[in-house]
Amino acid sequence: MVDLKTINRIAKNFKIDSECVSFSELQSGHINDTYLICTSTNKKFVLQKINTTVFKNVIAVINNKQILSDYFKSITTSLNYQFVVFIETNSNSIVYIDPNNSYWNLMIYIPNSHTFDVAQNTEMVFEAGKLYGDFLLQTSDVLTTDFKETILDFHSMPMRLGQFDTALENTKIDIKLINELLNIVFNYREEMCIISQLKAENKMPLRVTHNDTKLSNILFDKNGNGLAVIDLDTIMPGIVHFDFGDSIRSICSTAKEDEQNLDLVEINLDFYEAYCKGYSIYTKTVLSELEITYLPLSIKTMIYIMGLRFLTDYLNGNIYYKVNHPEQNLDRAKNQFKLLKSVDSNHKQIQEITSLYFAK
């Protein structure tokens, strides 16, 4: 945990006119260290230390974020929502590299904003759908070639299955204890590669994708209106299925990602309908028939890939995601595979709802 002196040592390298007087850690991310800081003139900022073990090509990550933030700045008049604004360093960069070779970003805090790990009601889900849908629409004019793939094959199923197989071979965990999960990984394996295969064959258009479209990456005001999409760390060229599937995984689940009581983990079909209703407002005319056809499969695919990644990290001894206790990644994996089963058993209704809102 850092102290106020350290925070100030970092913050003074950015163009802010006053000292930081208090700060708190924002706990919801699994990768970076993020702090809400308050200055003596009562201004608030978000200070973030980027995890360079995960983001190896950190300069490319910064470039991607800057391109997008600059683009949003250039189209503010047509934007319905606020966007992430970076504060420059005294040498006009958006990243400060400290003497320990840690990389820091400072962003303007969007006032009176709230985040949630679990959706509270259909209105909130509808708003989330609208924001992520508008994000896709607004970025459809940006050249995907301007963005670097900062984590290669981030959502590639063959790559993630390869990492899982290696972890399973080398793990110190007694794999008899996770037999049930291994069966799920095995049984779904083939079907879960279909979307990656379509991408590999260039059958889906490349878009600027957010790649971490969970509920907590949307800011809401106190009345539940969507304010902004945050966390530009994983902006990369990708396909719509990564973002749509990941949203449903997070926003339409009845429980948080590491809920241990699996009886509480289900897909909420009312939420799914609300998300489609909101998301389709901006995207229906942008998405092709083929993209729409594969939206339902993207849900299972993104749930499976997250379950697989959590399980892989558990087998590896928790070296990637932050954990509060040693079994947390296992809890997350069990949770995701329960959600996968729930989605599978509601497949027909999911197809019907999707057709209802996306039919041209």
Interface residues toward ligand GN1, by CB under 6 A: 29-31, 54, 212, 214, 231, 234, 257, 306
Nearest residue relative to ligand GN1 (C-beta):
31
**Pick 102 or 122: Cβ nearer Mg ion:** 102
Cα end-to-end span (Å), the chain:
52
CB of 234 to Mg ion, least distance (A): 6
Give me the least distance between CB of 154 and ligand GN1, in Å please: 7
Which C-beta is closer to Mg ion: that of 231 or that of 273?
A: 231
Least separation in angstroms between CB 92 and ligand GN1: 27
87 binds, among Mg ion, ligand GN1, none (CB under 5 to 8 A by kind): none
**CA atoms of 87 and 96, how far apart (whole Å):** 10
In whole angstroms, how close is the CB of 233 to Mg ion at the nearest point?
5
Buried/exposed 272-288: b ≥16 CB within 10 Å, e otherwise: bbbbbbbbbbbbbeebe
Chain Cα centroid distance, residue 12: 30
CB 308 within 8 A of CB 185: yes
- The CB-of-253 to ligand GN1 minimum distance in angstroms stands at 12
Q: Which is nearer to ligand GN1, 243 or 273 (CB)?
A: 243
Distance CA 162, CA 105 (A): 33
Q: Which does 118 bind (CB under 5 to 8 A by kind): ligand GN1, Mg ion, none?
A: none
Query: 10 Å Cβ neighbour count for 108?
Result: 16
Our CB check for Mg ion shows the closer of 233 and 331 to be 233
Q: Which of ligand GN1, Mg ion, none interacts with 306 (beta carbon under 5 to 8 A by kind)? A: ligand GN1
Residue 214 binds: one of Mg ion, ligand GN1, none (C-beta under 5 to 8 A by kind): ligand GN1
Q: Which is nearer to Mg ion, 134 or 212 (CB)?
A: 212
Check: CB of residue 329 under 8 Å from CB of residue 221.
no
Q: Which is nearer to Mg ion, 127 or 212 (CB)?
A: 212
Angle made by CA atoms 315, 317, 319, in degrees to the nearest 5: 115
Comparing CB distances to ligand GN1, the nearer of 89 and 102 is: 102
- The listed partner (Mg ion, ligand GN1, none) that binds 127, CB under 5 to 8 Å by sort, is none
Residue 64 CB coordination number (10 Å) = 23
Least Å from the CB of residue 57 to ligand GN1:
12
- Helix 347-358 × helix 295-315 angle, to 10°: 130
Least distance to ligand GN1, CB of residue 220, Å: 17
Q: Shortest distance, CB of residue 360 to ligand GN1, whole angstroms?
A: 30
Instruction: Pick what 257 binds: ligand GN1, Mg ion, none; C-beta below 5 to 8 Å, kind-dependent.
Output: ligand GN1
Q: Residue numbers of the site for Mg ion (CB under 5 A)?
A: 212, 231, 233
DSSP 155: T
Q: Which residue's CB is nearer to ligand GN1, number 34 or number 280?
A: 34
- Residue 302 tokens, joined: 């993104």
Tell me which of ligand GN1, Mg ion, none is bound by residue 313, counting a contact when its beta carbon lies within the kind-specific cut-off of 5 to 8 angstroms: none
Q: What is the C-alpha separation between 89 and 347, in angstroms, rounded?
A: 50
- Contacts of range 258-266, beta carbons closer than 8 Å, 24 or more positions apart: 258/328, 258/331, 258/332, 258/335, 259/331, 259/335, 260/331, 260/334, 260/335, 262/334, 262/335, 262/338, 265/335, 265/338, 265/339, 265/342, 266/339, 266/342
Nearer to Mg ion, 54 or 193 (CB): 54
> What distance in Å separates the CA atoms of residue 127 and residue 10, rounded to the nearest whole number?
35
Q: Could you tell which of ligand GN1, Mg ion, none binds residue 54, using a CB distance below 5 to 8 A set by kind?
A: ligand GN1
Find which of ligand GN1, Mg ion, none residue 134 binds, CB within 5 to 8 Å per kind: none
Report the 10 Å Cβ neighbour count for 152.
11
